[in-house]
Amino acid sequence: YQVLVSSAKLKQYNLTLEAVDRALENANLNATGSFFNRYGSEVLISILGRAKNLEDLQHTVVANREGLPVLLHQVAEVRFGAAVKRGDAGVNARPAVILTVEKQPGANTVTLTDDIEKALTEVQPALPHDVRINAQVFQQKNFIVHALTNVEHALRDGFILVVIVLFLFLLNFRTTIITLTAIPLSLVVTALVFRWFDISINTLTLGGLAIAVGELVDDAIVDVENVFRRLRENREAGSPKPALQVIYDASSEVRNSIVYATIIVVLVFLPLFQLQGIEGRIFAPLGIAYITSILASMVVSLTVTPALCSYLLGGTNLPGFKNLEGLKPERESALVTWLKKQDLKLLNFGLARPHVVISVAAALVLGSAVVATRFGTEFLPPFNEGSFTVNLYAPPGTSLEESNKIGTVAEKLILRIPDVQYTARRTGRAELDEHVEPVSNSEIDVALRDDARPRTEVVADIRRELAKLAGATVSIGQPISHRLDHLLSGVRAQVAIKIFGEDLDDLRALAGQVKSVAETVPGAVDVQVERQVLVPQLTIRLDRDALQRYGMQTGEVAGDLEVLFGGKVISQILDGQKTFDLVLRAVPEDRENLENIRKTQIHTP
């Protein structure tokens, strides 16, 4: 609800803006009147004075002149109106409404996305015939599914490599089977622990399992190999002991070593849980998954592995299997035999020349220290999210209409690239948005086709097309990593150089010098200086001497001008379950024209 007043009409009826303000407040109030007694019961008294529609507001009495009431519609235009527009949007260079759906903490993103898509499909028939819903603009589900698929492939490939390595070294089908049982059993125990403690299976927890998959068989290998060796020695001895006794003794020999080794590995990962902020939220699930699976593998190696050894290696009758007592012990594989011979040669060489060994080891340590200084120091590796976020910065002070045109042109340029499936643009952001932006800034989400070229090639084409926009600055990132960069450094870039000082002109000059140097660094793209510039503004300076002659206060005049040009929320109009602000401001022709602003009339005493 908008009440648009004219300073000329206020003068005509000799009214102040404060009188209109007060009249609107009084016209939209409810009150209470305590209660009264009726037939022994207390009846509450409620006084309903709220306006219900435009007609109620239009006939609000503002003042009395010569015995006649002055109604609100005589001095102001009362109408429905929209809030000040501070943003716009488009999809594939056509006008659109971008709706962002945020999930509750702990909700499953993939499942929730599927449910939302079903709900949107049900809503579509109720929409006008020319309105279509595009639910594929940006979905975190796609990145999550892609990441989970990659981790699942890593788990699969790791398991296959473990099988190959075990068989090459053991060359024994039964010992390989015993050892490999540690992997599925450890993963099952880990999954049960996750279920008990309500920990989700996500990219990070699966990543922890992928890291641990090669180590899940370590404890079992130690146990099986020692049992296998002791059984072979026992069978070759003159008076062999019972197989179960040999297995028990062999497992007991390595039990302490297995436990201590596992504890040491777990201690290495404990510092992950001391990380704070975003680092802790990211790496803690990975550490939980790794530690849980390692501890599960230790339990399996101390319980299940000896039992399986007694059945498959010790000759105990296993239900459904042939008695294995009469089988001959397998020999070591050719690979292990060859490696032992080479190891023996290397040991003889090293023990005979200790100074050479120590010198080579020291040189390797120094070399590794030098190489370590050249490692990357990124907090997270670069993601491949399958989509891009293009930030378009027009000169500060650019109007929403002009920014909208620039953004539409940018979308059309991006859509020329055959790998682009669609674009979704948001120009400006409202003050209640999670990322408030001026109307001069646009953010374009770019989704790629499944058969798109490599990411670097597509980004290069986008930069080449957007270079045609003169005067606009472009920055290209990815949706999730783009927001992580914003959280970590406060700016939407992977690398941010901050210069501190008191003089803005000096800071601008230094920033320009830094930009010139940064642009020469190989691999640096989208180098830009954050725009700290003055925006166009109309300044109204109050003449205190003139105000004094008229007996006026600067605060009153400034307050009236703020209401006229900026607007003021006086109250709320209740319409069923909906609430609308009641806004008082000047008519458009009085606040959008420089000459009319100069001629604004102020009520004097």
- pLDDT tens by residue, 506-527: 988 999 999 999 999 988 888 8
pLDDT at 327 > cutoff 60: no
Question: Of 412, 415, 413, 410, whose CA–CA distance to 427 is shortest?
Answer: 410
| Strand, helix or coil for residue 43 | strand
**Continuous H helices in 197-323:** 203-212, 218-236, 243-269, 277-312
CA distance 129 to 543: 58
- pLDDT tens by residue, 351-366: 999 999 999 999 999 9
Query: Tokens standing for 317?
Result: 């009758």
CA distance 595 to 464: 44
Cα three-residue angle 293-295-300, rounded to 5 degrees:
90
Query: Tokens standing for 427?
Result: 């120009």
Q: Which H or E run includes 544?
A: helix 544-549
- pLDDT tens by residue, 415-474: 999 999 989 999 988 777 777 788 888 999 998 888 888 888 999 999 999 988 888 888
Neighbours of 587 (CB within 10 A): 19
Decide if 186 contacts 300 (C-beta within 8 A).
Answer: yes
Residue corresponding to tokens 């050479």? 356
One-letter-per-residue 3-state SS of 455-510: HHHHHHHHHHHHCCCCCCEEEEECHHHHHHHHHHHCCCCCCCCCCCCCCHHHHHHH
Label residue 45 by pLDDT band (50, 70, 90): confident
pLDDT at 312 > cutoff 50: yes
CA distance 355 to 352: 9
Question: How far, CA to CA in Å, does 489 sit from each of 229, 353, 384, 497?
Answer: 57, 53, 21, 9
- pLDDT tens by residue, 76-99: 999 998 888 888 999 999 999 988
Label residue 31 by pLDDT band (50, 70, 90): confident
**Continuous H helices in 79-136:** 109-123
Mean pLDDT of all residues in the chain?
85
Query: Tokens standing for 578?
Result: 């909906």
Phi, psi angle pair for 571, to nearest 5°: -165, -170
Q: Residue 381's pLDDT is what?
A: 63
Helices 243-269 and 218-236 pack at an angle, to 10 degrees, of 160
Phi, psi angle pair for 473, to nearest 5°: -100, 140
Q: What is this structure's pTM?
A: 0.68
CA distance 470 to 395: 11
- pLDDT tens by residue, 526-539: 888 877 667 778 89
CA distance 406 to 412: 10
Q: How far from chain centre, in Å, is Cα 389?
A: 13
Which residues have a Cβ under 8 Å from the Cβ of 426 and sit 6 or more positions away? 87, 88, 89, 98, 442, 443, 444
Question: Of 599, 538, 541, 543, whose CA–CA distance to 566 is shortest?
Answer: 538
Decide if 308 contacts 264 (C-beta within 8 A).
Answer: no
Q: Residue 379's pLDDT is what?
A: 60
Pairing of strands 387-393, 473-477: antiparallel
Average pLDDT for residues 554-561, to the nearest whole number?
89
